[in-house]
Amino acid sequence: MRGKIAAIALVGVLVAGCQTTSNEPLPSNSFTFNSSKQVAKEAIVSTYMSRGFNIVRDSDLQLVMDRPASDNFGAQLVFGSNWNSVPNARITATLLGDNPTNITVRQAIVTNPGTGFERVMDLSQNPSARQQLQIGMSRAKSMAESTANASSS
């Protein structure tokens, strides 16, 4: 019983420590790629697959990619379950338009990924997650636009 109480107290302390406020605006989760939708999607896939993500779903308007959050002990502690102690990090990109392509990306952590008991926690308001998203999507945008410029030359 004491172990359960200690674990609950530890989670409470960890969550409370994460509740910081900042006056700085969050980096955007919307991006405009000056390329075709297909080239933009290929650049996103290439960028995130090199980071360990795999495609979960791919349609004309949406791309969903996951990877195990095995490198994040805090995520495992808070979002792991009895069935699967390692949650997945998930990127969901919605692609609209074609040359330019407008992309809105949402980040989440997924408990019990790929099962009927999947729970998705949106991380879109987390400043650290948004910063990482900016880095990845900036890399994908550069790749897509350089590919588009090379093919138009």
The whole-number pLDDT of residue 129 equals: 86
CB 34 within 8 A of CB 100: yes
13: in domain? no
72: in domain? yes
Residue 5 in this model has a pLDDT that exceeds 60: no
11: in domain? no
The encoded tokens of residue 15 equal 């969550």
Mean pLDDT, the chain, integer? 82
Residue 83: CB atoms within 10 Å = 9
81: in domain? yes
* Peptide bond before residue 68 is cis, with ω within 30 degrees of 0: no
76: in domain? yes
Estimate to the nearest angstrom the gap between the alpha carbon of 66 and the chain centroid. 8
Domain with residue 135: its CATH number is 3.30.310.80
The whole-number pLDDT of residue 21 equals: 56
**Confidence label for 152 from pLDDT (cuts 50, 70 and 90):** low
Residue 9 in this model has a pLDDT that exceeds 50: no
Q: What backbone phi and psi angles, to 5 degrees, belong to 8?
A: -65, -40
**Strand stretches in the chain, DSSP E:** 30-33, 54-58, 62-68, 88-96, 101-111, 119-122
Range of the domain at 52: 28-148
* Average pLDDT score over residue span 93-106: 94
8: in domain? no
Degrees (nearest 5) of the Cα angle 50, 69, 115?
105
The whole-number pLDDT of residue 55 equals: 95
The whole-angstrom separation of Cα 46 and Cα 57 is 15
Q: What backbone phi and psi angles, to 5 degrees, belong to 126?
A: -85, 120
* Average pLDDT score over residue span 11-17: 49
The whole-angstrom separation of Cα 43 and Cα 47 is 6
87: in domain? yes
Question: Over the stretch 44-78, which tens digit does the pLDDT of each residue have?
Answer: 999 999 999 999 999 999 999 999 887 766 676 66
Q: How many structural domains are present in the chain?
A: 1
The encoded tokens of residue 31 equal 């991006």
38: in domain? yes
Residue 143 in this model has a pLDDT that exceeds 90: yes
Place of tokens 């495609």: 55
